[in-house]
Amino acid sequence: MSRRNKLSKFADILAYNNVYENYDPKDPKLIKSEDLEVNLKTKWSSDHFGNSNPITLELACGKGDYALALAKAYPERNFIGVDIKGARIWRGATTAIEEEINNVAFLRTRIEQINLFYAPEEIDEIWITFPDPFLDDNSINRRLTSPNFLVKYQEILKKGGIMHLKTDSRPLYDYTLEALAAFDDATILYQNDDIYASELAYPELVHKTFYEYQHLANGLTSKYIRFTIN
């Protein structure tokens, strides 16, 4: 992607009313539309969505494929896609505006900071969809299901809130099962290392991301873990 194209997309999302950004990891300030500072902690449903519906996060959302699909399938819920890549968020946010999908928003920030922008028990459900598996042993702590991330999710997730991992990576799938087994408050509700080999256990698994379509075309299988961490 050319630098000009990226800059154009960054300018677009500055004007979008469905995108919030954190520019500086050292300053947990949230910006919306032309540098307007906002504080949505405890108030995402009321102040952005204008309702009291439950909130689902899609972490490492990329272009927001899953958040958008779920938002269309479940209009009675609110969805927020979270990613650090502005150009990818632009695609999801643009689609939401064009298709008038008003129950989805996007947060551009590092997932390491996720608990800075949501209050304890503000989130009802979390999806992690085809994240970078960080296969290098030196990058284990960057895996989105590592214990240092799980404690952050635990803080913002409501009691009994469901978490989902959908991945094509066998190492990440196996690592997550091990991490959850060692995590005191974790309960694995369901696991499957080839979800399309038989009838889907849950209807929301039918949705596929851009990357999942690519991986399936290359002969990889989609793996899924459903769990709680409180």
Q: Is the dihedral of CA 24, 29, 35, 41 positive or negative?
A: positive
From the list 132, 174, 185, 194, the catalytic residue is 132
| Two tokens, residue 61 | 């959302």
Residue 206 is classified by DSSP as: G
Q: Which residue has the tokens 């690592």?
A: 175
| Two tokens, residue 142 | 């960057």
Neighbour tally for 54: CB within 10 Å: 17
Q: Is 35 helix (H, G, I), strand (E, B) or coil?
A: coil
| Two tokens, residue 88 | 């990818």
Q: Is 64 helix (H, G, I), strand (E, B) or coil?
A: coil
What's the CA gap between 164 and 227, in Å, rounded? 6
Q: Is 3 helix (H, G, I), strand (E, B) or coil?
A: helix
Question: H or E element: which one contains 57?
Answer: strand 55-59
132 labelled catalytic = yes
Please check whether residue 230 is in contact with residue 152, taking contact to mean a CB–CB distance below 8 angstroms.
Answer: no
Neighbour tally for 173: CB within 10 Å: 22
List, by residue number, the catalytic residues.
Answer: 132
